[in-house]
Amino acid sequence: MTALASAPAQRSPERAAARDRRGSPVPTFGMIATRFMELRKRRGLMTALVVVTIGIPTVFLAVRLLLHAIAPRSYGPAGGYDIYSGLSAGVLYVFGFIVAATLGCTAGSVDLSEGMFRHLVVTGRSRLALYLARIPAGLAIIVPLVAVGFAIVCGVCVLAAPSRVNYDGVSLPAGLSRTAFVNWAADHPGEVVCNFNYNGPGLPNVPCGNGPNGGAAVIQAPAGAQGPALPSAEQLKAAAVEIAGQNYQSYSSLFLSPSVSLMVETGLWIELEAVIGFTVGLGLGSLLGQRTVAVVLMIVLEIVLTPIFSRAHIPHFENVQRAVLGLATAHLEPGALPLAFGGGGGGPGGHAGILVPESTTVAVCVIVAWLVGWTVLGAWRMITRDA
């Protein structure tokens, strides 16, 4: 009886040890939730994230809506394709990366800066699990914030889009076929000849800029004007048709509002940039052990180094340039958007002549290498750091 009674007592410590998973490298839901709460309670950081990802585009669009409502002739519609592309490629892409990197650098260094690292280690939890728990916790914060800001931009740009597009200073209908565009040009030869770009032999002598307020051209010479004879209506029409044929490809890239497919692609691209910024920032913050220098380095990477290495074709150095993270994400940018950091119009292939050449496969491999590499470095530093 004594042996039988002692057997459960002997097995219970073994069972307890088997149930003790503190040494597992896989983070538990409780660990992730704790990391999430620790980051969310940092009010200054959360305020900055909300202001940049949601506040800036919201205030900008609200001001444009107000100005258009007060003075519609002076201020154009608040939405439309141009506003959408500018906010997506010029604001959410760049600042989304920066705030995500700031959050990542904070998550990677907060335990050291606040003296909590020793207390985490003595709990017996796996250091690798403690590091990996910060990835889903941080992404659960930054991904929804970026999504909300982007959704606001999409909603306003679609609902408050203009009814006509502005091409080379001329207001005309959007979405015309080539035939319809040429027919429109034949009916408005003065505006086409005086405003649209043209590469070819000399145009007929047309007095431009003598319309109302110096705007739209009127194909009439001022009274008493001296000079070469004005072209006939048929000559003007022929010139307008020829110019329209040259400009149709550029005109066809303009839209009143972004398409659903473009919004989906852009949203995924911006979220990818935020995920990259957080993951790399987390690894860098853990590696350095403090936030300030890590954040500065991430800003320099995004604002200074990426534009230079993405566009400057440096002989015998292009393979190194292709390893830059920003160049890889720029090659994944939807073609209908203007190139981030300015320059390069939309449309298929609009970025090819500006960026350092790189295939999509190489770009994806570079992004994966950065994500995995900085995760390994950050986890390694946390595992080997003295408590």
26: left (phi over 0), alpha (psi -120 to 50) or beta: beta
What residue segments make up the domains of the chain, in order of their start? 22-163+257-384, 177-249
- Local confidence pLDDT in tens for the 387 residues of the chain: 445 444 454 555 555 444 546 667 788 888 899 899 999 999 999 999 999 999 999 999 999 999 989 998 888 888 888 899 999 998 999 999 999 999 999 999 888 877 776 767 667 678 888 899 999 999 999 999 999 999 999 999 999 888 777 777 788 887 788 888 888 888 888 888 888 887 766 665 666 754 444 444 444 444 454 555 666 778 788 888 888 888 888 887 777 888 899 999 999 999 999 999 999 999 999 999 889 999 999 999 999 989 888 888 888 888 888 899 999 999 999 987 888 765 444 444 456 567 888 899 999 999 999 999 999 999 999 888 876
Alpha-carbon span 139 to 146, nearest angstrom: 10
Contact predicate 257/157, CB 8 Å? yes
The model carries a pTM of 0.78
Alpha-carbon span 39 to 7, nearest angstrom: 47
